Structure 1
Amino acid sequence: MTRISKILSKCAKYKILILVLVLISPLLFFAIFTYIPQIPRSLGLLQSENVSVGNEIISLDKAIIAKACTEDGKTCIDDVLLLSGYIDEGMIKKIKLLANEHQINTICFATRGGSKEAAIQIGEWINKTHKNTCMAEKYFTAVDLTLTSPLCASACPYVLAMGVERTALGSHFKIGIHSSGSTWDFGIFSFGINSSRSDATKDYKKMLESSNNSSNHIQMLYDSLDTRFDSKRYLSSEEQKQYALFTEYH
């Protein structure tokens, strides 16, 4: 038997194994780049995020005590709980820690959104403990960091809506909505996938039914379905009023 025929004979013995590996390799590839990187996030291990300040990169906790102000600094709320970065289990852990150490009345935001499950957990906590919420033009933190023109997008507006009193300190901030969905990340490229109407609204709608302007807030949720998950629709001042996002303006 020639060397080549011996090699072919050995390959034939393992052809089923090779076929199985070929068939499952796309699934393995998907799991490696999609689910495995999310394990630290789902376990609450990511409790801070890097933010760019000028030429510096600073690590900022996802929940910190801060001062929320209008741009001119004339109207402020002291000792707010500022939520920033990606909404996830890490943010929830920081919230629990600070809530045990401080008397917190107002929750403010500078977050692009995140996990639906984590957002609902935070929103329900705000509602059940009768907290107020806010968006401000500037946030001053204890680490000498100032955040300006913050964003509240994706899951964030629904959490904001759960406050008893909802204060707008100025108007130089962004509120962004879009349909719910998920991102499939394959390492070298990623893309967003829209959820169906029922998936997009069911859990958020249940939470928003407990807000004090539930019909307006649920309408915002329904209207968000007109914007693709991989895009954002920024609400004008008039739209913010239409959806009753705020109860006080300064």
Structure 2
Amino acid sequence: MKNDRLKGKNILITGASGGIGAEMAALCAESGARLVLMARSIDKLEKLKDDLQARYQAEVLVYQLDVSDTNAIKIVFSDVFDRLGHVDILVNNAGFGIFRAAHEAPIEEIKSMFEVNVVGLMACTSMVLPIMRERRSGHIINIASQAGKMATPKSSVYSATKHAVLGYSNSLRMELDDLNIYVTTVNPGPIATNFFNIADEEGTYLKNIQRWVLKPEYVARQIVERMLTRTREINLPRWMNTTSIFYTLFPRVVERLGKRAFNQK
């Protein structure tokens, strides 16, 4: 697929070394975008860069970055601005989760999840905002989760981080509404990526929900198709988002009826 709106645009994707990040990068390269890819694994990024250049003759910059390191974010983003001038689209895709009962979650694990999923996302966004505001143009896409709308057992910390992302994004959207800068949150259900290698240590949850797991290429396509459009949210799959809406309206009913399903982790 090609999105003609992306031709010649500067698109920065964090967490781009695999999963939906890498899939989005490929679709954006096919559409003629100039890419800035960031992740902790520079080897994977270099391999992806070589592949995209060979397939699409794409312009690709890669940076090793752990978004929990806010000082590194300042250094890396400053270099991007020196080389490209601005970022048209920022996709905050870096993040991780661990499924664990609340009383079993070590405080360092809790801090780490918030540093990556929330503070890192905010820090990256803060770096692109001044120039986007000056240009009165841009698109910020934050990868959240259905877990940010409907918490379940053993995901208390992860859900809390995604609740924070949704709250931040909703406020940011209103701040930027008159500046022609779009803010989109992506709220997918489970995706077949390496996410579960960390999140689901025992492998039981992924096995139990296998029939509902989304393909990363499908999720990436839904996101790239909506780049540079005024899209508030992308919710996948639709039936799961319907459950989230029902949960907001009738939380006691959903918690009672869904108890067995929620405890499959």
Greater relative CO (CA pairs within 8 A, separation 6+): 2
TM-score (norm 2): 0.28
TM-score (norm 1): 0.29
Structure with bigger helix share is 2
Largest Rg, 1 or 2: 1
